[in-house]
Amino acid sequence: LAARCSRVTLKSSPLTLRIVAECPVTKARVCDLILPHCTVNTPVFMPVGTQGTLKGITVDQLEDLGCQICLGNTYHLGMRPGPDLIEKANDLHGFMNWKRNLLTDSGGFQMVSLVELSEVTEEGVKFKSPYDGKEILLSPEKSISIQNSLGSDIMMQLDDVVSSTVTGPRVEEAMHRSVRWLDRCIAANKNPHKQNLFAIIQGGLNSKLRKACLDEMTKRDVPGFAIGGLSGGEEKDDFWRMVTLSTDHLPREKPRYLMGVGYAVDLVVCVALGCDMFDCVFPTRTARFGSALVPWGSLQVKQKQYAKDFQPIDPDCQCPTCKRHSRAYLHALFKSDTAAMHHVTIHNISYQLTLMRSVRQSIMEGRFPEFIQSFMKRMFPSRDQYPSWTVDALASVNITLQ
């Protein structure tokens, strides 16, 4: 009987988290996140492929960079080409031909950020389609239905998204509604054995509301939790406090996904605060403007100063771009061909993934605190240039920045 039960458990769990190492100083951990398409090593940065493509990069190139999971966007894909077509194409994996894992967000964020006239009610989010002007309702059920068609390995609940700069009763209303919508999402999920549904902790910058949300949502048996409602222009001092409060109250044995975080410094600090998964459009978006991410910040390849700079973007970088091309060539190529953008995109994705791999390695080898010190030293010209929030946040997990 016991054997049969464990077999059933295994079959019904499309997510298994194995904690490989925990930093004895900070709250950081290294995990193996076993998902239907492959194992994801955390901490992990997930590149964003909004419309079923990663901006000029082929799936082979993405695989070669070591990417194990990337994002697709429910709002965009739900509009074009639509869930029915994607189902016909053997879900989003089949449509894009991506053989590893996919995470889809719910579409909630786009509702607020992209759509001019959207109206939130208990039912869902009402908005006008930008393509044909028709009125559409994105309800928890509808969002999950689309995500079921997309077939992503991790789906996000539809949450009532409120900008982090908003205060007052709206924040509390959104938090409670998000809990109710979580329950509706759980009920609507047609594929609980194949697709994981993550909850999204809300509550704005109010610790009481956050805590209340945490208490409620952790009562639900979801395979993972996201920390939402942050990374939207709020003060960093508030930001990190909400992150660490959240990780303090999230179960150890479930993954923690901090949404919308992607700057290198933010990644390193938030790993120290206990987060496992991150996503952000920034690295891929900024690449298209010629901005290359490097250990000492960023390098604007299109600037005149690089016209005669014959070094690669980062002499220490092993990505295909840095192994073959110079800043000068890329600078010139931006005037001739779109491939220049692709070169920088590849470099930026490589940078992010390599950063996470280094973080992971350092945690496993018990030297994450030292890693943080040298990371910060490389990134900022001097100690007094360290942003005060990073000093405070790291101090809260026993790291005194030198």
The CB-of-108 to other proteins minimum distance in angstroms stands at: 21
299 alpha carbon, distance to own chain's centre? 23
Taking CB under 8 A as the rule, does residue 302 contact other proteins?
no
The CB-of-55 to other proteins minimum distance in angstroms stands at: 5
Which of 128, 184, 285, 325 is in the footprint of other proteins by CB under 8 A?
Answer: 325
Which of 339, 361, 374, 378 is in the footprint of other proteins by CB under 8 A?
Answer: 339
Ligand-binding site membership of 319 (annotated): yes
Nearest Cα residue to 245 out of 218, 214, 222: 214
> Among residue numbers 28 through 87, which ones bind other proteins (CB under 8 A)?
51-61, 64, 76, 80-81, 85
380 alpha carbon, distance to own chain's centre? 24
Q: Using a CB cutoff of 8 Å and minimum separation of 24, what contacts does 250-254 make?
A: 250/201, 250/214, 250/218, 250/225, 250/274, 251/218, 251/225, 252/19, 253/17, 253/19, 254/17, 254/222, 254/223, 254/224, 254/225
- 132 flagged as catalytic: no
Taking CB under 8 A as the rule, does residue 369 contact other proteins?
no
- Is 196 in contact with 161 (CB distance < 8 Å)? no
- Measure the CA dihedral 210/160/36/148, to 10°: 160
Which is the catalytic residue, given 153, 160, 266, 279? 279
The CB-of-190 to other proteins minimum distance in angstroms stands at: 22
**Window contacting other proteins (CB under 8 A); options: 12-20, 105-113, 292-300, 322-330:** 322-330
**Window contacting other proteins (CB under 8 A); options: 122-130, 229-237, 241-249, 303-311:** 303-311
- Is 114 in contact with 75 (CB distance < 8 Å)? yes
| 167 φ/ψ angles, rounded to the nearest 5 degrees | -125, 175
- 384 flagged as catalytic: no
Q: For residues 47 and 224, which CB has a smaller minimum distance to other proteins in the complex? A: 47
Supply the residues annotated as catalytic: 105, 279
Which residues make up the interface to other proteins (CB under 8 A)? 51-61, 64, 76, 80-81, 85, 88-89, 95-97, 307-308, 310, 320-321, 324-326, 328-329, 332-333, 335-343, 346
